[in-house]
Structure 1
Amino acid sequence: MAVALIPGKFADKALEPVIKKLDKVELPGTKALTAAKASLMKKHKVACFKKNKKGSDVEYDRQLQGQQDGINKMSVKEYLDNRESYKAIGRKGTGQAQDKARKNFKEDLIKEYNDELLAEGEYIGQEALDKATELALNDMNTLNALHNPDMIAGGNDVVFDLGDASVNQSIGSQWKTNGGETLSRVDLMDIEAKKALEELGPDTLMDVDLHRCK
């Protein structure tokens, strides 16, 4: 049987075209600011994120890069507005975007597995589809929808990517911890964004650096 049929391996391969496509998507409300080359806030280096034991270095760096890119496409006002909304309602009423993204990806994954199984000739017809569904569901259990950035870090309820669930949960849980600083990672970002808003104006773009502890 082909290596691609090992649960988890094919999901990585199948994610590649999805990621390439999503790289072209602009976050809501940021296109005009990017095109206008708005001023940047002073770069803020966020305390490093400690990698979880399960996740790979490559996946951890990929997800951090996605969150960093998402934050840096926002104006300081948009970031702060989103943060206030999150403080007020948290994740209440969210989830529709995640459900839709997972449903679409699962359907694509089933099709890819089914085509692979049929090509190998080991399964045919409904048997191939059933096996493809089983393999896809196994993979989906390891994946989370990624907002880029997390909603706690100013993200919108819009899914731009999927990735290793353990990595996503590791990063998400560290936003509200301090990483050795006096305040949490996200509280310090709030402070820097407010400074930029006061000194440079609402259209100033965020400029943060997210990195893994090494």
Structure 2
Amino acid sequence: MKSLTDVQNTAFMAIGPSRIAALSLLALSREQQGAKEADPKTVLDLSVQRLSAAYGMLGDGLDALLEECSYSFPEGLEAKRTACLEALAPLHRAISQPGSDALDSIRAIPGLSDLCLYRLEPVVSDFLKDMVQNLREAQQMRELEREESMRATIANAEGVGRNIKFISFNASIEAARIGEMGKGFAVIATEIRELSGKTQHLLEEISGYLKH
């Protein structure tokens, strides 16, 4: 199972480039390619790829990753995710129309400049910032809960070890009372007591590592 840190990194890498992709498409639509040596088709293809990846990640992609981690966004963050999808939707529709020129479809988007310059970038950046913080804090909480659970399990195991050691000690006493017939049983009881002591010492070491 992926950790929430893995989800954070995967989602960020897929969604983040959509901001520069939108600006690149805006520049191409205005025929204002910054670098003359740049191949417009290469820039167009890369921008379309980045926007498609971002739109897919914001939709089903994130749903699948979060489900795998048994996690869901809080209501406020989910609303920001929806705002990102809505901001990307016009561009995604334009580049997804079969049999049409992508740049012509992009140029036909109403308010294209405002969308790319003033709407899309802020909502995507705001979502990414809050997503990173939310998933980081959630992962830290999970790790703390996991450590507490491990400590509780170790404490229980230590208690069992002490009981076994106590029982084996009593068994040694009873074997001594029996005399010659109890010698074999006494040897076994001693070995159990020594093994219990070693196990308890190991558990104490593990517990110490978790406290650091």
TM-score (norm 2): 0.24
Larger Rg: 2
Higher RCO, Cα 8 Å, sep 6+: 1
Structure with more helix by fraction: 2
Structure with more strand by fraction: 1
